[in-house]
Amino acid sequence: MIANLIGGFVSILVGTSLIGPIATEVSTYSASTNSTGTTCTTYDQAGCENAQLYLAASWGATVLKMVPGFFAIAILGVGIAVTYTSLRQAGIV
């Protein structure tokens, strides 16, 4: 039981520490603006190297922006699963 709790705690700790960097990378690669803050369009692509996904398929950029949220939900699921498993092994549930 203690091993499950420790393993679960470590996986939750690592997962929550990765949410920030993942969100930063996703934001970088799904940007819709150029380096000056102007919205990139198919007609004006000056400085829009990071906005290529947005220009090619804006729905792809929108779906990519959902990744950190689903990652956080997965970490929450790990926490719930570890808690339930530990309580079940202890005979409480």
Domain count, the chain: 1
Domain of residue 13: give its range.
Answer: 2-90
pLDDT tens for each residue of 38-53? 777 777 677 777 777 7
Q: What is the residue-wise DSSP string for 33-73?
A: B-TTSPBP-SS--TT-GGGHHHHH-HHHHHHHHTHHHHHHH
> Rounded to a whole number, what is the distance in angstroms from the first to the last CA of the chain?
13
Which residue positions in the chain have pLDDT lower than 50?
none
- For 83, half-sphere exposure in the C-beta direction (CA atoms, 13 angstrom radius) is 7
pTM greater than the 0.85 cutoff: no
